[in-house]
Amino acid sequence: MVALMRAYEQLYINGQWVASAGTDTLSVTDSATEEVIATIPDGTASDVDAAVAAAKAAFPAWSALSKEDRAAYLMKIHAGLEARTDEIAEIIAKEVGMPVWLSSMIQVGLPKGNFKGAADLLGSYQFEEQVGNSLVVREAIGVVGCITPWNYPLHQIALKVAPALAAGNTVVLKPSEVAPINAFILAEIVHEAGLPAGVFNLVTGVGPVVGEAISAHPDIDMVSFTGSTRAGKRVAEVAAQTVKKVALELGGKSANVILADADFGKAVSDGVGKCFLNSGQTCTALTRMLVPRERLAEAEAIAVGTAQAAFQPGNPFEAGKFVGPLVSAAQRDRVRGFIQKGVDEGATLLTGGAEAPEGLEQGYYVQPTIFSNVTRDMTIAQEEIFGPVLSIIPYDTEEEAIEIANDSIYGLAGGVWSGDADHAKAVARRIRAGQVEVNGGAFNPSAPFGGYKQSGLGREAGKFGLEEFLEVKALQL
Q: Could you report the per-residue pLDDT of 338-388, keeping only the tens digit for each?
A: 999 999 999 999 999 999 999 999 999 999 999 999 999 999 999 999 999
Decide if pLDDT at 119 tops 60. Answer: yes
Decide if pLDDT at 3 tops 90. Answer: no
Average confidence (pLDDT) over 76-91? 98
Q: pTM, whole model, 2 decimals?
A: 0.96
Q: Which residues are catalytic, by number?
A: 249, 283
Nearest to residue 369, comparing CAs of 387, 394, 395? 387
Average confidence (pLDDT) over 63-78? 98
Alpha helices for 145-228 (secondary structure H): 153-166, 181-193, 212-216
Task: Give pLDDT tens digits for 215-260.
Answer: 999 999 999 999 999 999 999 999 999 999 999 999 999 999 999 9
CATH of domain 6-250+455-476: 3.40.605.10
pLDDT > 90: what percent of the chain?
98
Decide if pLDDT at 203 tops 90. Answer: yes
CATH of domain 255-445: 3.40.309.10
- Weakest-pLDDT range from 4-8, 85-89, 128-132, 377-381: 4-8
474 vs 5: CA distance, rounded Å: 53
Degrees, nearest 5: CA angle 293-295-296: 65
Amino acid 5: pLDDT: 79
Decide if pLDDT at 1 tops 80. Answer: no
Task: Give pLDDT tens digits for 438-447.
Answer: 999 999 999 9
Q: With contact defined as beta carbons under 8 Å apart, do 455 and 434 qualify?
A: yes
Q: With contact defined as beta carbons under 8 Å apart, do 158 and 110 qualify?
A: yes
Degrees, nearest 5: CA angle 26-31-35: 60
370 vs 275: CA distance, rounded Å: 10
Task: Give pLDDT tens digits for 306-341.
Answer: 999 999 999 999 998 999 999 999 999 999 999 999
266: left (phi over 0), alpha (psi -120 to 50) or beta: alpha
Domain ranges of the chain: 6-250+455-476, 255-445
